[in-house]
Amino acid sequence: MDRSIQQFKADFFKALAHPMRIRILEILSQGERNVNELQTMLESEGSAVSQQLSVLRAKNLVNTVKEGTTVIYSLRDPLISDLLGVARQIFNNHLVESISLLEDINKQS
């Protein structure tokens, strides 16, 4: 059983291993969006956005609902927002440590 959990985690983090996919998930953390809205917010062309959405769909990170000819995307699990928030906190902690180290280096110069 541990291996299947580890494999799930590995696949999950692989799905997060692209900056645009992370940005899409951050946007969807704020609410559902259609492809055109995502393209505008990401300032990216349709094929690139569609490709990344395809990966997120394949890994079951997003839900889709079709309304007429429009596909609406949302987060499959709201805990993804929490995970992204924790990742941001970890980044900030590393940034604070780096700034502190640079300040120490500058003091020694």
Domain boundaries, the chain: 2-108
Mind listing the pLDDT tens digit for each residue in 27-75? 999 999 999 999 999 999 889 999 999 999 999 999 999 999 999 999 9
Length of the chain: 109
Mind listing the pLDDT tens digit for each residue in 13-25? 999 999 999 999 9
Which residues, 6+ apart, have CB-to-CB distance to 41 below 8 Å?
27, 33
Higher pLDDT, 27 or 97: 27
Question: How many CB atoms neighbour CB 1 within 10 A?
Answer: 5
Whether 109 shows a pLDDT value over 90: the answer reads no
pLDDT score at 105: 83
Task: Name the CA dihedral angle for 10, 12, 16, 21, rounded to a multiple of 10 degrees.
Answer: 150
Choices 3.40.50.970, 2.30.30.60, 3.30.300.20, 1.10.10.10: CATH for 2-108: 1.10.10.10
| 87-to-3, 30, 58, 76, 90 alpha-carbon distances in Å | 24, 17, 22, 19, 5
What whole-number distance in Å separates Cα of residue 21 and Cα of residue 83?
14
What whole-number distance in Å separates Cα of residue 2 and Cα of residue 11?
14
